[in-house]
Amino acid sequence: MCSPRRGMNMRPNLFKKRLSDATQIGTFVKIDSAEIIELLGYAGFDFIVIDMEHTTIDFGQAERMVRVADLHGMSSIIRVPDASRMSILRALDLGAAGVQVPQVYSADEVRDVVDKAKYPPQGSRGLTYAHRAAGFGHMPGNYMEEQNTAGTIVVHVETVNAYERIDELCAVEGLDIVFIGALDLSVCLGVNGADYMNGELAAPVRSIIEACKRSGKMPGIAVTNAAQYKFALEQRIPYIVWSSDVAFFKQALDAIIQTKSKIELEHTGES
């Protein structure tokens, strides 16, 4: 006779601990594809950020994507479409390691995000055990405490308001990671280009990183090349998102077409 294995199916959320131990490398996932997530896992990525802000991915698709990532040892952060209570609740209930909230403007908004993401007494997240994060009822006795401690809360700094109030934002208790949205920030600040290493955006980005260090918050940033990755490591940024699945696919296709054109030109010259 089979005996119930209560708690045995719960996968511990170790992402925040891993961040404290070593830099974690992830990528934005914009395509609902188990195969792509598997490829990322085989390649050695530490985590994925499921992008629900700039795609049509829904929560049902996101849950399946998290399952595949779990099977390949990757943590999943969900970039929610907005900071609503339902978006944050569903992202965490389906078993993501944390949420990444775009377009925040003030410390009050960040406090509201933390409140929605944490169970009482730290917050007001609604409670049920009939979902994946709680093992559909097969959860340990300290489930709420574990969720409050282990869940990772990320907010974007990509608006003028957030940038000008960076110290206030970083002071919010319960916030874990300040993600620098370089492209949006460059547009909002009206600077020339999104080069955060040497361009006009460099000073604002460094000031955000310094504010994180002063407050004990972890900075996060997106990189697209080796130079930016080296910069992120030099700045001791633990949460690094390297491009996206769409960008990887585009780069590979562009390289194939360039190779094709080169071979065709050589072939034409020979004939």
**Active site amino acids:** 54
* Encoded tokens for 114: 């933390």
Element (H, E) at 228: helix 226-234
Distance CA 110, CA 174 (A): 9
Is residue 229 within 8 Å of residue 245, measured between CB atoms? no
Distance CA 249, CA 233 (A): 25
Beta-bridged to residue 78, according to DSSP, are: 50, 99
What proportions of the chain, in percent to the nearest 5, are helix, strand and coil?
50, 15, 35
